[in-house]
Amino acid sequence: MPEAIERGLKAALNNGACCIGEIAISKTSSGGFALCHRDDEGGHQNLEASRSVDDASVIARFDDAGNYRPLKTAPNLRRGWRLEVVDVGELRRALDYFYPGRFAILTAWQQNRLATTPLRETLDRQSGMYRVAAKISDDQIDDVVANFCRSDGGCLRTILWNRDQCGGVPSPKLPPQKFDPAQDQATWPGSATQATATRAIPLLCQEACNLLVAECRKAVKGECGDL
């Protein structure tokens, strides 16, 4: 799998893709790659420089205010850094720190072997304290998914899963672009990166994450009390 991911990265970069999520990728004169926040492009002289791929884990951990980032695909990656890696292998490792597991998902999707799971199925298989999340209504799903998954302040993944086995849209309150892998989720209307939008590698979401499940549980508990 690492070899397939690296081949995909090379192909994407050769085709002009130079962004993923909030990260801009450029080639260095030594043949390696440099990563920085997309909002920091062009200001390399003022950025904190690093050459250790493991520093990506530290950079990804907290936002600009020092708050922990439980959702790594949230649009709150801190700014002010520049990370240089020597080859595509290190690039893959660094990007996996920033966006864990997303390249394995992308590779499976590109090879037409990615299975997606409807939200209702994900909720129905919960147990323990999260079992109640399956009681969420369709109207509540509309609101919870629209709020938690929106690219503007929520999550930069492109949603591939459906609401249920019938293929219902996750939330009609999200724009169609949220479900299109060809769309750059970091460049929603009014975003700081909109003016410099370039072809981007998508962050794909094949099933609802644990944090969204928790939000569904909160919505049910808030309406129904202790269940």
All domains of the chain, ordered by start, with CATH?
Answer: 2-110 (3.30.1360.190), 119-224 (3.30.70.2320)
The pLDDT value given to residue 195:
47
Instruction: Label residues 143-171 b or e (16+ Cβ within 10 Å = b).
Output: ebbbebbbbeebbbbbbbbbbbeeeeebb
Query: What DSSP string describes 69-110?
Result: -S-TTSS----SEEEEESSHHHHHHHHHHHSTTHHHHHHHHH
The pLDDT value given to residue 83:
97
The pLDDT value given to residue 191:
65
Helix axes 2-14, 88-98, angle to 10 degrees: 100
Distance CA 182, CA 196 (A): 16
The pLDDT value given to residue 37:
95
Helix axes 102-110, 88-98, angle to 10 degrees: 110
pLDDT along the chain (227 residues), means of 10: 81 80 92 93 82 96 97 97 95 96 93 96 97 97 98 97 95 97 84 61 97 97 59
